[in-house]
Amino acid sequence: DGDADVVGELLDELSAGIAATSEGAATPAPGAEDSPPSKSDMRLSVLARTYEQVDAVCSLVEDLRRDAGDGEGGDGDEGRIALDEIIVDFLEVEGMKEAVKRVRSSSASASGGLKVSVAAPRVVKPGEAGIWRTLLRLEPDGLLVRGAGLLHRMAKMGGEGAEVD
């Protein structure tokens, strides 16, 4: 399948890039491992800007997992299905609820493999200060924070697992 080939090629490029970076580094970062992660350790996140993209990614992941389960997944390398998160980054909040539902309802998500995060706006305009509440009410697995102000607000609320009213 052409889509599976593209995913495999991306994983190969990512693995080569990690290996090249590791080989050329003078000193490893604190806590870094001596060797690059294996393909089975790598995970990819896809940023989707439209519902159609969310739907297409969910369908692709479902197809890849189904093919791997049927023994038709190529070389049988489970690491080749490394996509584990879709980040919903719509221009408007409208439609995000349906996108989160689509990811949650996908068979990939039902098996515990596909997570959904939502992206907060880069800049919060006047009158939009409470947008983070709307995003958190979608109950995503994660929130992509792209500004110091929202990061500060989330930290003041208590961080991960904090109750939001």
Read off the CATH number of the domain in which 113 is found.
3.20.20
Q: What is the pLDDT along the chain (165 residues), one digit of tens a residue?
A: 666 666 667 667 766 766 665 555 555 566 666 666 666 677 789 999 999 999 999 998 888 778 777 555 444 444 455 788 999 999 988 999 999 999 999 876 666 678 999 999 888 777 877 888 899 999 999 999 998 888 888 888 877 777 766
Decide if 24 is inside a domain: no
Residue 149 lies in a domain: yes
Q: Which residues contact 119 (CB under 8 A, 6 or more apart)?
A: 47, 87, 88, 89, 143, 144, 146
Query: Is 131 domain-assigned?
Result: yes
Question: What is the model's pLDDT at position 73?
Answer: 45
Minimal CA–CA distance to 74: which of 58, 59, 63, 85? Answer: 63
Q: Is residue 22 one of the residues assigned to a domain? A: no
Range of the domain at 94: 43-157
Q: Is residue 91 part of a domain?
A: yes
150 within domain boundaries:
yes
pLDDT score for 135:
92
The number of domains in the chain is 1
Structural domain includes residue 7:
no
Residue 33 in domain: no
**What pLDDT is recorded for position 76?**
46
